[in-house]
Amino acid sequence: MFTGIISDIGEVTAVERGESDLVRLTIACGYDPQTIEIGASIACNGVCLTAVARGKESGRNWFAADAAAETLRVTTVGRWRAGTRINLERALKAGDELGGHIVAGHVDGLAAVTARENLTEMARLTFRAPAELARLIAPKGSVALDGVSLTVNEVRGDTFSVLIIPHTLKVTTFHSLAAGDETNLEVDLMARYVARLIERA
């Protein structure tokens, strides 16, 4: 589990495609590799991936993770190339501060940026969500976009907007998001379960 509070920006340094459907990603990061246990979960742009190797090379810390066919299909991971910068978050530990909201790292779909309004030190971003997910997004509710916990400001049909504060622009990849870009969307867990209960009623 995660909280949607980004702790580092990583950079993909290698993408290796094997004979199977697995793709191995090597990601440079600021985390001390000795603190990354093999098998640990790390959210990469909101996608929960498992660390399968870690180390330090040419002065850069790194870890490697494998992405399966379903992850490549549902998320933006299949588009990552060497040089792609991604938001990183380590898994939540008991006793950690819950600064955002509960994020599973299980991406529901893609949300496309339809507009960006640059304000004084901030930005307002508008996204279009798939119809089946848009119904689960509510004003003042929570969403995770590329792993970042955000509060929804406004909802209109299948579009919604969020306000990105200066700190978030500084410590995430959101400073470079533009109209046409797609992000990994995870809707709030509570909204998903409430919708499921209503469907069964």
Residues classed as catalytic: 2, 41, 48, 50, 68, 106, 151
Give the tokens for residue 134.
Answer: 């848009």
Do residues 142 and 188 make contact, with C-beta atoms less than 8 angstroms apart? Answer: yes
Residue with tokens 């920006």: 9
β-strand partners of 183: 111
Nearest to 153 by CA among 137, 177, 169: 137
**Other C-beta atoms within 10 Å of 87: how many?**
25
Give the tokens for residue 43.
Answer: 């959210």
